[in-house]
Structure 1
Amino acid sequence: MQESAVDVLIVGAGPAGLMCANALSRAGVRVRIVDKRASAIRAGHADGIHSRTVEIIQSYGLAQNLVDTSAHLHRAAFYKPGSAGGIERARRMKGFVSPNSRYSFTCTLHQGFIENTFISDMKTRGLAVDRPTIPTSIQVAACTEKGMANADGVDAHPVKVVLEHLDESQDTCPSEVVHAKFVLGADGAHSWVRKAMGIEMKGDVTDHIWGVVDIHPDTDYPDVRNFSIIQSNKGSALLIPRERDLLRLYIQLSHADLINPENGRVDKSLTSPQKIIDMAQEILKPYYIESTGDVEWWTVYAIGQRVAAKYCVDRRVFIAGDACHTHSPKAGQGMNASMLDSHNLAWKLTYVLRGWADLSLLDTYEVERRKFAVDLIEFEHKWASMIMEKGGSPGGDEKLYEMFESNADFLSGVGLCYQPSTIVNDRYQASAPGLVVGAYVPPHIFLRAADANPINFQDMHPADMRFKIVVFAGDIKDAKVAECIQTLAEQLDAPDSFLKRYGQGGWESVFDLICISASSKDGVDYTDFPKLFRKHWSKVYLDDTDMLGNLGGGGFARFGIDPEAGAIAVVRPDGHVGLVAPCDRMDAVEAYFGGFMRTNCTA
């Protein structure tokens, strides 16, 4: 039997698995990804990518094609039963959009496009999905942290997985043993990895059944290109405009007609795309809707709202995406939450594999992502229940609008904020209240000092596996400020500073040092700053407007930073703020990294 060894074996090549595989391969991690499907999906499945997820994809430099190809949702329309029968429009309002987002819209297009984005990027580094391949057994041997640090140690690859290659036409052994340091189960709601590791799913499946069809519509429905929530006396529907003039219909179906009496499960064969469209026609009256041409994709499902009891076993086997949380698609969070799981985990695995961080860092994955899943399921339970009301409950309409509007940050993803932990320290939050510790780095335009180029703050934080150390300084022309900046540079450059102690012999591979000054573009040169802050000309920025006065300025005020006092922000590799502190509290920064990082060592 063939045997191989990898750092990370990923089971499942959906959005969660591909996000993780791509991020790890960029970091130089030896990764393998397998999937039971013979080919990638080309239509249907998940289709909504919210603002924060687009920002994350952009941090890998991959969002532009997504933005250009997708449909953009800016507005939501709500319909209720009309006084003369049928439905009537009750309200239109902004969609899943937050004023704190860089992208003021939701992108919609089929899941396969997102998957292919990662597959294409992985291909440039020689990584491809091994398909069709399934795991048949998994064993986790006892291991120690010492063994983890030693690549030749007996416990270096403690997870043993037997794979079965299903394509008999390939000239390969049908079975293979893979020895891995870590395994990620991203294999969907019926996850083999989760079941094999004995992880329980908690929650339930409701008796609400929905049909989904993707069509090219012929309709006189006036909000066909807006996200629509429709509550009628015939049932409920959600309409989502898509790329290429497609329209997705979510249609509430009769429970009694779709349950197989032999096993009590939803049986897709008991309905058809046309029956779903027929039901849509009833719900949308007095408007008509028909499909022109063939239905591109369709399915039927019952809402399941469940979360795994735990996300990892022995700090070696992890689950992500639908493998650890399932919920209603009515708020379009499934694919988004799945990719955010992997984005959170990838940098932590990388730091442990490189020997830069303790194994305990991996515990924060479950702490951060499971709480988010629990909060999401609680929200979606209420949200789905409101949508399925027929609009007749007293005050029900206003409650629905209020919930939609008040949860814009949550729905768009920009409201995600991780709670205090070893990698989230909010003790000195008052030094920069607008940079919320635990939350993501917000968008803002600063001016690059060397060439007066306006740069988005988020673009200073690419997903390159480095911590960003952002020093907010006052006006360098002020003698007191200049002295403070020089003192800070000397502290950072000292042999015992965190840059040197945790920099693995070359700190710029672990940390990226950025300086943002309150100086004006006409008053300073980037060479006025200490050499440490300008190891490259692009690392010094100004809180000033661009040459036309249209972009930038007001950053210190927005972040609540006193220009005279300044502040230091530590931004994690996943773009979340880990710490803010006054410039004179280097001890806080030292203690932060001392909580989980290892001093200089070799992986």
Structure 2
Amino acid sequence: MEHFVDVLIIGAGPAGLMCATALASAGVSVKIVDKRPTRVLTGQADGIQPRTTEVLQSYGLAERLIREAALVHVGVFYNPNEKGEIECTGRQADAPQSSRYPFKISLNQGSIEVIFLDAMKSHGLTVDRSMAPTAITFDEAKLSDPSAHAVKVTLEHLATSDSPGRRDEVHAKFVVGADGAHSWVRKNLGITMDGDQTEHLWSAIDLVPDTNFPDIRNRTNIHSVNGSLMVIPRENDMVRLYVQLSDRDVINPATGRVERDRMTPEKLIHVAQKSLYPYTLKTTQEVDWWTVYLIGQRVASKFSTHERIFIAGDACHTHSPKAGQGMNASINDSHNLAWKLVHVLRGWAGLSLLKSYELERRKFAQELIEFDKKHSTLFSAKPKTKTFQNGVSHEDIVKSAEKFAGFASGIGIQYQESVLVNAKHQSCAQNLIVGQRMLPQVFIRAADYGPYDIHDYLVADARFKVLVFVGDVNESAQLVKIQALAEVLHKPTSFLNKYLQDGQEIESMFGVITITAKSQGLVDMLSLPAVLRPHWSKVLVDDIGMTKSQGGHAYERFGIDEKELTLVIVRPDGYVGTIAPASHVEDVNDYFASFMVVSS
């Protein structure tokens, strides 16, 4: 059979499912395949960082995730005392203060995948399982035409399918390889994985504990003279234990290879018990899942070929699971790529826009590996004791946690300058960092006085959001400036109009949201020009809500002058793309002209 699709996704793990969800919700024709006959049922990745929760909320998926998962609010540290027993040496918040969701989330990968699968199903998309690629070719003559089906992939129906041995041909405009650490797509394209494998040997085990350890329901880092241990609370009374192992536990001395058969769940629990001394640990129920692994830290040499085939997730970066980055990095890879594919497929942007995927996400992956090397080495090292002064102290661990909190949570990730990141006028809003995600902030809606977080206006619908900070609209001098800005934005040469096709409304491509400063009187939204109030819900006020507990002081927090008019351009993935004063709207025009295409 032959299929013609916009995007073929190979691999239905978190990266593939996120990409499929994002593309399907934008109306893109997608086919997603996976060699596994069923989805992941238990185990695997289980941690969602605060920024990833914000991303999932932009697709309307966070509420269900929070409802089903365990929420982790506190990080706890245990170290050995002079008796060799572990004792609590500190506690700290487990998420940065600027997080909209000030906690981490723990839920098994299978349940997270179901959330994506249900979202895909609502758009008429399901995973074609028991299918694997066997060949991939390009049509060289079509590579420069983004509307052409320039890639052909041969798929084989595996033995576990209903039609084993059958072969299909898929003609796709773009292909995303999200097929894991042993990616067929990556290998077939000749892309190498650069990096090393450490000597740190670990295991992970999911169980319902029977213990007198007081912090079993908190994310707990335990440095013990008997080895390190990490506790992650999980859904349904479970916890995950990351247990440090020694070579003799699982390495075959004859071959030097890790052999899982040399370990059992009972042995793992016994090793964990020694690290928890003087506390006890056992389980009265069957272990849900367990594994043994060596930490590998590698990044792919490139993330795309001809801007037609891309790799995402574990296919392009592998690292330690203890920093809780794997599934988060995978989801955010696809979140970064999907809206760019949509823009090219809709004809809004040229193929060159897709170069920014590798530019942004490969640099992030390299930074992730550097962070993971430091984190995993620190956590795997022996603790400092009276008889071993060269070990890792509690202060070392706390300093590292504080230093990397922004990166680990995803809150502090910053994309470098590019066509999509222009910080020329950063001083107009000095605390909204261009290249970082838009800060969460509650505003009061002018029409109905309801409190709303600005993130809920930044839905992942492939549109750029234009936040216009207009100051006090009840001041006549300010209103004159606002009218002047509206006239500039209304011109056919303005970025709001330049890229529209005949009959197309501004809101089909851009989301305009006007934010006024706190005023002495009621804010009359009807005094604003029509271009700045496309809908009654799109005018917000920087004020405190009726309960006196939400909103206010955003201008001050963002570093925006109430007497000026400031445009903040937020990319479809929620990152601040550029900022400019109303007197330099031409710089915003130039920003969009660098990657958007004028419709013929």
Decide: shared fold, TM above 0.5: yes
What is the alpha-carbon distance in structure 2 between the residues aligned to residue 357 and residue 262 of structure 1?
57
- Structure 1: gaps spanning 5 or more residues: none
Asked if the contact 1:44/1:297 (under 8 Å) is kept, the reply is yes
**Helix, strand or coil at the partner of 2:361:** helix
> Is structure 2 residue 425 aligned with structure 1 residue 428?
yes
> Is structure 2 residue 512 aligned with structure 1 residue 520?
no
Measured after TM superposition, the shift of residue 406 of structure 1 is: 2.4
Asked if the contact 1:81/1:390 (under 8 Å) is kept, the reply is no
2:403 is aligned to 406
> Is structure 2 residue 556 aligned with structure 1 residue 557?
yes
What is the alpha-carbon distance in structure 1 between the residues aligned to residue 412 and residue 49 of structure 2?
12
Deviation per CA, 1:225-252, whole angstroms, max 9, x where unpaired?
1111111121111111111110101111
Measured after TM superposition, the shift of residue 174 of structure 1 is: 1.3
1:591 is aligned to 590
Asked if the contact 2:142/2:149 (under 8 Å) is kept, the reply is no
What is the alpha-carbon distance in structure 2 between the residues aligned to residue 169 and residue 435 of structure 1?
51
Measured after TM superposition, the shift of residue 88 of structure 1 is: 2.0
1:3 is aligned to 2
Measured after TM superposition, the shift of residue 261 of structure 1 is: 6.0
Asked if the contact 1:11/1:185 (under 8 Å) is kept, the reply is yes
Measured after TM superposition, the shift of residue 98 of structure 1 is: 0.4
2:462 is aligned to 465
1:336 is aligned to 328
Q: TM-score, normalised by structure 2?
A: 0.96
Asked if the contact 1:216/1:291 (under 8 Å) is kept, the reply is yes
Asked if the contact 1:71/1:109 (under 8 Å) is kept, the reply is yes
What is the alpha-carbon distance in structure 1 between the residues aligned to residue 323 and residue 161 of structure 2?
42
Asked if the contact 2:514/2:532 (under 8 Å) is kept, the reply is yes
Q: Which moved more, 1:427-436 or 1:165-174?
A: 165-174
What is the alpha-carbon distance in structure 1 between the residues aligned to residue 314 and residue 589 of structure 2?
37
Deviation per CA, 1:261-292, whole angstroms, max 9, x where unpaired?
67644221121111111100111111110012
CA spacing shift, 1:206–1:27, aligned 2, 3 Å: same
What is the alpha-carbon distance in structure 1 between the residues aligned to residue 116 and residue 79 of structure 2?
40
Measured after TM superposition, the shift of residue 394 of structure 1 is: 5.5
Alignment of 1:59-138 (within 5 A): 59-95=58-94, 97-138=95-136
What is the alpha-carbon distance in structure 1 between the residues aligned to residue 135 and residue 248 of structure 2?
39
> Which letter does structure 2 place at the counterpart of 1:307?
V
Asked if the contact 1:202/1:308 (under 8 Å) is kept, the reply is yes
> Is structure 2 residue 365 aligned with structure 1 residue 367?
no
Measured after TM superposition, the shift of residue 144 of structure 1 is: 5.1
CA spacing shift, 1:110–1:395, aligned 2, 3 Å: closer
Q: TM-score, normalised by structure 1?
A: 0.96
**Helix, strand or coil at the partner of 1:367:** helix
What is the alpha-carbon distance in structure 2 between the residues aligned to residue 270 and residue 146 of structure 1?
54
Deviation per CA, 1:111-158, whole angstroms, max 9, x where unpaired?
11111111001101110000011111111221456522xx4xxxx111
Alignment of 1:164-243 (within 5 A): 164-167=156-159, 170=162, 174-243=166-235
> Is structure 2 residue 467 aligned with structure 1 residue 475?
no
> Which letter does structure 1 place at the counterpart of 2:6?
D
What is the alpha-carbon distance in structure 1 between the residues aligned to residue 441 and residue 426 of structure 2?
19
Alignment of 1:181-580 (within 5 A): 181-260=173-252, 264-392=256-384, 393=390, 396-505=393-502, 506=504, 507-520=506-519, 522-580=521-579
What is the alpha-carbon distance in structure 2 between the residues aligned to residue 389 and residue 144 of structure 1?
53
Measured after TM superposition, the shift of residue 587 of structure 1 is: 0.5
What is the alpha-carbon distance in structure 2 between the residues aligned to residue 219 and residue 143 of structure 1?
65
List, as ranges, runs of 4+ consecutive aligned residues in structure 1 with deviation greater than 4 Å.
143-146, 260-264
What is the alpha-carbon distance in structure 2 between the residues aligned to residue 137 and residue 492 of structure 1?
50
**Helix, strand or coil at the partner of 1:473:** strand
CA spacing shift, 1:460–1:521, aligned 2, 3 Å: farther
CA spacing shift, 1:521–1:63, aligned 2, 3 Å: farther
CA spacing shift, 1:15–1:263, aligned 2, 3 Å: farther
Residue-pair matches, total: 593
Deviation per CA, 1:48-89, whole angstroms, max 9, x where unpaired?
101000000000011101111111111111112221123222
Measured after TM superposition, the shift of residue 523 of structure 1 is: 2.3
What is the alpha-carbon distance in structure 2 between the residues aligned to residue 399 and residue 296 of structure 1?
34
**Helix, strand or coil at the partner of 1:585:** helix
CA-based RMSD: 1.5
2:387 is aligned to none
**Helix, strand or coil at the partner of 2:179:** coil
Asked if the contact 2:158/2:164 (under 8 Å) is kept, the reply is no
CA spacing shift, 1:375–1:146, aligned 2, 3 Å: closer
Asked if the contact 1:80/1:231 (under 8 Å) is kept, the reply is yes
CA spacing shift, 1:143–1:438, aligned 2, 3 Å: farther
Measured after TM superposition, the shift of residue 503 of structure 1 is: 2.5
Asked if the contact 2:177/2:183 (under 8 Å) is kept, the reply is yes
1:47 is aligned to 46
